[in-house]
Copies of this chain bind each other. A is one copy, B any other.
């Protein structure tokens, strides 16, 4: 089982074919950042047309069993997620609506303070808000997974504690390996694992030690150390692959409509666009390199399978839909 815990590509037939070439069984795809509900619906419509146009390559998955059926049929299962809570606006009822439309992950924040919690880039982290607590409860009820990849430390620990079900950090790496602003502390990673949660390892260069020059060996060593910290059942891949996106998209991700001034996020004025991928992970055909790197690092076949997708599948089974 090969599952990627996060991508936001400039989707195309080419990319869907690369998923099949790479034997990718499922991908959690970001379908919006700062879009309000009505705009999110338009993004789902676009996915529905892709499902209709490429039925031999991709299909929409709402459950772990949908992923198994996709694998059996030789298709890549697509799981919808939001990188911000904009789609639910200020309306708790929209959580169930979005779940009915297929959403299975939602970040409570994207870098900034949201109505729910604090993002990783704010100076002050006040934890879950009043609305945030109600939303966590409702997400638990319907089976929409809380994702804290872009959230600040206290808010993340709050969410882990307040949520009655495991949460996810779909795309980030340990801060001890590379002190990227939104890579996660050992405190967070241990609490995440203890609550049954999942970490997806990111191959986005700003999250990597050495950025685009990061070696496969360094990446796999980091995975091995994180397996020691969290246990091998709580880790997976969340590549954060932004394939074929124009640089205008990273600007949308960072600034949305909340600022008239450019914010460079994890980048800088001199390095504002999407950074080049490391040579060992350029697109969906390269997951085999990581599996190979894990085996070279001493992971057994069974452990490698868990990290490459088995853990995500179990997590999907347990956390998509009502308990």
Contact surface of A with B, Cβ cutoff 8 Å: 37-38, 41-42, 44-46, 48-49, 91, 93-94, 96-97, 100-102
B residues less than 8 Å from A97 (CB atoms): 41, 44-45, 48, 101
Task: List 22 A-B pairs, Cβ < 8 Å.
Answer: A37-B38, A37-B41, A38-B38, A41-B94, A41-B97, A42-B93, A44-B97, A45-B91, A45-B93, A45-B94, A45-B96, A45-B97, A46-B93, A48-B93, A48-B96, A48-B97, A49-B93, A97-B101, A100-B100, A100-B101, A100-B102, A101-B101
B residues less than 8 Å from A49 (CB atoms): 93
B residues less than 8 Å from A45 (CB atoms): 91, 93-94, 96-97
B residues less than 8 Å from A96 (CB atoms): 45, 48
Q: Measured between C-beta atoms, what is the minimum distance from A60 to chain B in Å?
A: 9
B residues less than 8 Å from A102 (CB atoms): 100
Interface of A is mostly: helix
Q: Measured between C-beta atoms, what is the minimum distance from A85 to chain B in Å?
A: 16
11 additional A-B pairs beyond A41-B97, A46-B93, beta carbons within 8 Å, are A38-B38, A41-B94, A42-B93, A44-B97, A45-B91, A45-B93, A45-B94, A48-B96, A97-B101, A100-B102, A101-B101
Whose C-beta in chain B lies nearest to the C-beta of A51?
Answer: B96
Whose C-beta in chain B lies nearest to the C-beta of A60?
Answer: B100
Q: Measured between C-beta atoms, what is the minimum distance from A276 to chain B in Å?
A: 35
B residues less than 8 Å from A93 (CB atoms): 42, 45-46, 48-49
B residues less than 8 Å from A48 (CB atoms): 93, 96-97
B residues less than 8 Å from A94 (CB atoms): 41, 45
Q: Measured between C-beta atoms, what is the minimum distance from A9 to chain B in Å?
A: 21
Distance, CA A97 to CA B38, complexed state (A): 11
Q: Measured between C-beta atoms, what is the minimum distance from A256 to chain B in Å?
A: 21
B residues less than 8 Å from A100 (CB atoms): 100-102
Whose C-beta in chain B lies nearest to the C-beta of A96?
Answer: B48
Whose C-beta in chain B lies nearest to the C-beta of A92?
Answer: B45
Q: Measured between C-beta atoms, what is the minimum distance from A223 to chain B in Å?
A: 37
For A41, A45, A96, A101, the residue with the greatest tally of chain B CB atoms inside 10 Å of its CB is A41
Distance, CA A96 to CA B49, complexed state (A): 10
Whose C-beta in chain B lies nearest to the C-beta of A141?
Answer: B52
B residues less than 8 Å from A46 (CB atoms): 93
Q: Measured between C-beta atoms, what is the minimum distance from A135 to chain B in Å?
A: 14
Whose C-beta in chain B lies nearest to the C-beta of A44?
Answer: B97
Distance, CA A94 to CA B93, complexed state (A): 19
Distance, CA A38 to CA B93, complexed state (A): 12
Whose C-beta in chain B lies nearest to the C-beta of A99?
Answer: B48
Distance, CA A41 to CA B93, complexed state (A): 9
